[in-house]
């Protein structure tokens, strides 16, 4: 364990517990060996025990959900607050949680970008640039700022697409296999990535049996991918990113294309990925055609692979994640563990998927 051993469990609150990320997070918090869920916030589930709404056990099952209007009153009783709310709501609530003495991990896009980027990419002006300036954006295997987490009060948890995309391409960039200029990332996500809201375009009859791109050239995760790569020391150039909607519930597969540098080979690309995953507990390697969603869904793992074609001067990197675990709640737990001086894998190491 990193740091001091705690005797009392960490008191945790989840705001937005009835959304997909919040549901996944409640499952993880309920089984975490060092945490105790003390508050669950959801207007939709207000007044109902969490165990009645979700298959969680132990003390978490008895926690009665409260409405969002009551959330600020619970912050004083929590040491750690997870915000699983829309970006504008997270921006409004983060200050109240911090003022109450809690530490915050925000799963929304509320604190991921520079303030001047919010009007273009999120459609609103950021109302708390003071908090934004203090937020630590942390993708543990990429951003290289884990040492800042033990003293961080506000951590911006990365988006699902940026997590898969950055990990698909970073090993190749770090090892000098591909050029930084001209990166193209094409990623596909299950429907839970769109959140738990009703709309015609996300209904079963519209999604089942279909496949399409969306938010072309205007997806809010584009600048976040660029920021993550910049923090990793390999950014600075624009990235072309396109998101696609898969007719499945969960998982993301990111495919990254880069211009192969002279003299580099497919063996070099494979070696770069193998070297990158070493000593990183949630990263795994596979042959490119074995990087698949079923191998990671339900876990905090990332399955990665790469290959290159010297004749065509191109290299391709792949990464598969569960968009709700490594892409949201699992990475939030991972970040919180690092904030609190716990083992990075605490509460996450025993997650298992359901690959046939």
Task: Give SS3 for 260.
Answer: strand
User: For 22-55, what is the HEC assignment?
Assistant: HHHHHHHHHHCCCEEEEEEECCCCCCCEHHHHCC
Task: Give SS3 for 68.
Answer: helix
Contact present, 295 and 353 (Cβ < 8 Å):
yes
Give the list of residues 6+ apart from residue 60 with CB closer than 8 angstroms, or none: 26, 29, 30, 37, 40, 50, 51
Bridge-based pairing of strands 35-41 and 10-15 is: parallel
DSSP single-letter state for residue 104: E
d(CA 32, CA 346): 7
Q: Could you tell me where the beta strands, DSSP code E, fall in 170-313?
A: 184-189, 212-214, 240-245, 252-259, 283-285, 302-309
Establish whether 84 is a catalytic residue. no
Contact present, 252 and 158 (Cβ < 8 Å):
no
The CA angle 286-289-292, to the nearest 5 degrees, is 75
Catalytic residue among 23, 160, 246, 339: 160
Q: Which residues are catalytic?
A: 160
């Amino acid at each position: 364990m990193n740091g001091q051993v705690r005797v009392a469990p960490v008191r945790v609150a989840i705001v937005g517990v009835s959304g997909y990320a919040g549901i996944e997070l409640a499952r993880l918090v309920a089984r975490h060996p060092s945490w105790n869920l003390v508050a669950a916030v959801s207007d939709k589930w207000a007044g109902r025990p969490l165990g009645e709404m979700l298959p969680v056990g132990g003390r978490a099952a008895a926690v009665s959900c409260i409405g969002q209007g009551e959330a600020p009153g619970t912050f004083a009783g929590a040491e750690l607050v997870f915000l699983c709310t829309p970006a504008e709501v997270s921006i409004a609530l983060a200050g109240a949680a911090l003022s109450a003495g809690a530490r915050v991990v925000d799963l929304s896009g509320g604190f991921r970008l520079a303030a001047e980027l919010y009007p273009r990419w999120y459609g609103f002006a950021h109302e708390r640039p003071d908090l934004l300036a203090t937020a630590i954006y942390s993708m543990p295997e990429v951003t290289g700022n884990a040492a800042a987490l033990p003293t961080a009060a506000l951590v911006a948890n990365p988006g699902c697409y940026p997590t898969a995309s950055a990990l698909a391409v970073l090993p190749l960039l770090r090892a000098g296999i591909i050029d930084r200029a001209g990166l193209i990332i094409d990623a596909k996500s299950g429907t839970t990535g769109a959140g738990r809201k009703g709309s015609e375009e996300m209904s079963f009859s519209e999604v089942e049996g279909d496949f399409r791109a969306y938010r072309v050239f205007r997806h809010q995760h584009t600048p976040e991918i660029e920021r993550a790569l910049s923090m990793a020391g390999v950014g600075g150039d624009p990235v072309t990113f396109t998101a696609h909607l898969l007719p499945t519930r969960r998982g993301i597969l990111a495919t990254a294309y880069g211009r192969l540098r002279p003299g580099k080979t497919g063996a070099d690309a494979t070696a770069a990925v193998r070297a990158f995953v070493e000593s990183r507990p949630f990263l795994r390697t596979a042959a490119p055609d074995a990087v698949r969603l079923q191998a990671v869904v339900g876990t905090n793992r990332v399955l990665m692979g790469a290959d290159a074609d010297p004749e065509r001067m191109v290299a391709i990197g792949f990464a598969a994640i569960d968009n709700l675990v490594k892409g949201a709640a699992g990475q939030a737990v991972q970040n919180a563990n690092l904030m609190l001086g716990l083992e990075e894998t605490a509460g996450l190491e025993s997650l298992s998927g359901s690959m046939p």
